[in-house]
Amino acid sequence: MIRINKISKINRIFIRFQSRSAKSLINQKTESLGTQNRPEASQLNKKSLQNNQYVKQAPNHDLTWSKSQQGRLDVIDKYPTRFIQKDLELQPRPYAAIDLIAKEPIRYLNHDEGNIAVCDGNRGSTLQGHPKVFINLDQPRASTCGYCGLRYAKEEYKELIESEAA
């Protein structure tokens, strides 16, 4: 008896079998799948991986965003033995926080709250937070927290800041 379950997300077929005659069926199914995401050693170079979508730095960011960060393609090219027969689709690729924090709106402080914003990285919520930072808001622009990237500005500069952003 042969039971075939197809999982479309991973594009793999898992076959459970009870007889030895099913081995030929298994070989046919695995050959038809190909090794698109499981490269051989000869395929792990910059030229072969240039157009592979799973070699991008992050799903929402193509390039590195820090001087000390190595590109994903460079790492795979430098250490190909780590990635032989590894499914590149299943390797961890977290979203780049640099793009996610840019979507966070600017936090405006009114005149009563003064010229200094205090950022602790949302420690009051369920997040871990960071050491408390005092940010000067004298200039007519959004000032950024050095730890978490949250932006703060005075309410009186809101129209100017939003007109520059548009």
Q: Are residues 111 and 89 in the same domain?
A: no
Q: Are 159 and 108 part of one and the same domain?
A: yes
Rounded to whole angstroms, the Cα distance separating 120 from 131 reads 6
Condensed to tens digits (0 to 9), the pLDDT of residues 35-66 reads: 455 667 677 778 888 888 888 888 877 788 77
Q: How many domains does the chain have?
A: 3
For residues 21 and 41, membership in a common domain is answered with no
Q: Domain check: are 83 and 120 in the same one? A: no
Same domain as 128, residue 116 = yes
Mean pLDDT of 59-79: 82
Q: How many residues does the chain have?
A: 166
Q: Which domain holds residue 156?
A: 104-165
pTM, entire model: 0.51
Task: Indicate if 132 and 159 belong to the same structural domain.
Answer: yes
